[in-house]
Structure 1
Amino acid sequence: MKAVALILALAVITGCNARAVLQADASVNSWEDTVHRFWEYISQLNTKADGVVENLKTSQFTRELDTLITDTMAELTTYRDDIQAKLSPYAETSTSQLSEDLQLLVNKLQNDMLDAKERSTEYLGELKTMMEQNTDDVRNRMSSYTNKLKKRLNKDTEGIRNTVTTYLG
């Protein structure tokens, strides 16, 4: 009787430590799915980085500055003409002096605004260049890292497959 109980106890204990074949297959598929999702995520990151660079390239910044300069100059011309019309009956010499002063101010303002536009365009170009360099650097680093990681994951996946094949075969 003791021998039967001992054999039964050993059968139960060894049965508890057994691995199910279906679980091994499920873990391999889960592992491969995880690797696949990781590569999809890296692909999405590359796509988003390209989108940011394109948005910087198609900026409307210079067009908005041109519009601002044109509108400001038109308003100043209208203001100058209005002042000349109002002051002309009072003093011809004062009006001509004021007109010259206003024209000098308009010219100076226009030159300053054009200079600001050129500088901002230059800074925007530098920003675009820096963004492209940083994007390329990140892309190269991620590519190197993902290639190393892919090799490692493929090696580990192959090891898991071999282990599962050993247990199944």
Structure 2
Amino acid sequence: MYEEALSAADAVAAQHMYADEGLAVLGRELATAPPSLALTVARGSSDHAANYFAYLAMQRLGVPVVSLPMSLVTLHHAPLAVKGQLAVALSQSGQSPDLIDTMSRLAEAGARTVALVNKHESPLAAACEWSLPLCAGEEKSVAATKSYIASLSAVARLVAHWQGDTG
């Protein structure tokens, strides 16, 4: 885990090189047609990164952000009115069936769906309109150290681009 933590800076640098243009395009699209609400869909450490996104989006953009309990969608089939709203999924693996199902259902309901995912060729990435890689590389330790740090970087970059902050 120590070695992976040391390589987190390399992951963030790779993200800047390979994913920043996609984050910029998405940020500009959101600035042009801003949602009035954003939902986050994640678990574990990814949900903590989603909380950071929520804080930044509310503080810098004034967009309310809600962490969506996936069971509302997957178990209870709640008729959420999300047309035109933003739904952001964060995941290391992109393999969790409940995340995939939730994002698919939100897309069917008209949400603009985004996956910030370490495994870019994943079912979660395929289920979303936008898929942007975290670029953290393989996680060998139990804790998703690099993916967590890369998630923090990705959401900060997304909010900065959305706000038009190029500095």
**Shorter-chain TM-score range:** under 0.3
Considering Cα pairs closer than 8 Å and 6+ residues apart, tell me whether 1 or 2 has the greater RCO: 1
* Bigger Rg, which one: 1
Task: Tell me the TM-score normalised to structure 1 length.
Answer: 0.21
Task: Tell me the TM-score normalised to structure 2 length.
Answer: 0.21
